[in-house]
Amino acid sequence: MAIANATAPARPLPARVEPTVRRVPAPVLLVALGVAVVVLIVASVSIGEFHVHWLDVVRVIGAHLGIGSDDSVPIAARTVVWQVRVPRTLLALTVGAGLALAGAALQGIFRNPLADPGIVGVSSGAALGAVVSIVLGVGSLGSWSTPFAAFLGALAVSILIYRFARRNGRTEVVTLILTGIALNAIVAACIGFLTTQANDQQLRSIVFWNLGSFANARWRYVAISSTLVAFGLLTLPRLARRLDLLALGEREARHLGVETDELRRAVIVIAAVVVGGCVAVSGIIAFVGLVVPHLVRLAAGPGHRLLLPASALGGAALLMLADLGARTVVAPKELPLGVVTSGFGGVFFLWLLLSVRRAQGGWG
């Protein structure tokens, strides 16, 4: 709803040519997104192919929180609520928040609206780690091997890209982004080669993993993603002021006392940790990290003190909604999450871009 307000002034521009973009006040946006998140949490644990009365949902969740008892609820319904819906909901919530938060911070340090976790190699690195562990069978951590390998891959490739892009203690943004593109291509080639070495079963795991899904949600995955996303939420917003100064320009920020290189390094490492953890538990979910920050900027402007928390809330809401769609639209089948986020999200974003252009006569 906040977004609709931002695009509402579809009438011709006033004669006084001055960027009079109507912005949603920060408290309104945060409250609206917060309400959306709460509503989606409730919807996500209540709605599904398996019919569970909402009172039973309350009983099951209450019982696990130590309030009341769920003995009257059939075992299948208890399983659906506590082992399927609740972990899925929490995973979508944390992963969505993490991806959007990291995306917003990365766009900030690159001062480039096209930056997303993919560009610094986090996503492709995670994919490479996962594929290596699937195809070569590396790792003795059982079901933890692939997520852990994905996490290591994300860190390794993003550090590598950062190292390549750095010279004489300086990092040039364009070099960094182009290095990212080059390394992403190399990583993609490695993945392509490994898939030719995979047997049928491995190939299917790779495909499943690359599409991203919350169908394999487990409580222990929720523990990982919520820890790492909490880390991101505690650290990145502290850098908001410095990110705002950086938006003025590299030199301007330095003159104002911002250690820009240190800031970049911190954000890249934090983003790699957060996104690596998210990708490790849910596979690759494109689009969220790129688009949610843009939606928030459209609604409320580019200030990072609002952008970072609002993006986290928006990402959480978007992925919970997408997952709700993924598991209900073609039930009893499961729709790949990427289809929902990229497909529907892409169409929505395109529509938004076009209508903003109509209203404001341009973009960015």
Partner 1 sequence: MILSSLSLAALISACGKTDDPGAAKTAATTTAPVAAVTSTSLVTSTSLVATTTTAPTWPLTAPAAKLPATVTDANGASVTVTSIDRIASLQGDITEILWTLGLGDKIAVVDTTATYPDSMLKSKPNAGFFRTLSAEGLLAQKPTLALVHPGAGPAAVIDALKAAGVPVVVIPELNGTDLLEASKKIKLVGDAVGLSDHAAKLAAQVEADINSAVAEAKAAATTSPVAAYIVPRGTQVFLTGLDSPSNAIIAAAGGTSAAKLLNLKTAAALTPESLIGVQPAFLVSTFTGVAQAGGDAAFLAIAGIAETPAAKSKKLLVFDDSLIQQFGPRTGQAVRQLSAKFQG
Contacts with partner 1, residue ranges (CB under 8 A): 48-51, 75-76, 78-80, 83-85, 87, 143, 196, 199-201, 204-205, 208, 213, 215-218, 327, 330-334, 336
- Return d(Cα 136, Cα 155) in angstroms, integer: 20
Q: How far is the CB of 262 from partner 1 (least distance, A)?
A: 41
Q: How far is the CB of 89 from partner 1 (least distance, A)?
A: 12
Closer to partner 1 at the Cβ: 208 or 344?
Answer: 208
Length of the chain in residues, anyone?
A: 364
Closer to partner 1 at the Cβ: 215 or 269?
Answer: 215
Q: Are 88 and 125 in contact (CB under 8 A)?
A: no
Q: Which residues are bridge partners to 170 per DSSP?
A: 167
Closer to partner 1 at the Cβ: 216 or 235?
Answer: 216
Q: Are 91 and 222 in contact (CB under 8 A)?
A: yes
Q: How far is the CB of 98 from partner 1 (least distance, A)?
A: 20
Residues 6+ apart with CB under 8 A from 336: 211, 212, 213, 326
Q: How far is the CB of 321 from partner 1 (least distance, A)?
A: 17
Burial 337-364 (b: 16+ CB within 10 A, else e): bbbbbbeebeeebeebeeebeebbeeee
Closer to partner 1 at the Cβ: 83 or 227?
Answer: 83
Q: How far is the CB of 58 from partner 1 (least distance, A)?
A: 18
Q: How far is the CB of 106 from partner 1 (least distance, A)?
A: 29
- What dihedral angle (degrees, nearest 10) is formed by the CA atoms of 329, 334, 337, 340? -20
Taken in order 162, 163, 169, 171, is the CA torsion positive or negative?
negative
Q: How far is the CB of 222 from partner 1 (least distance, A)?
A: 11
Closer to partner 1 at the Cβ: 20 or 143?
Answer: 143
Q: How far is the CB of 91 from partner 1 (least distance, A)?
A: 10
Closer to partner 1 at the Cβ: 250 or 334?
Answer: 334
Closer to partner 1 at the Cβ: 87 or 103?
Answer: 87
Burial 31-69 (b: 16+ CB within 10 A, else e): ebbeebbeebbeebbeebeeebeeebbbbbbebeeeeee
Q: Which residues are bridge partners to 234 per DSSP?
A: none
- Amino acid (one-letter) located at 259: E
Q: In Å, how far are 22, 215, 240, 242 from 248, measured between CA atoms?
A: 22, 43, 13, 10
Residues 6+ apart with CB under 8 A from 343: none
Closer to partner 1 at the Cβ: 242 or 327?
Answer: 327
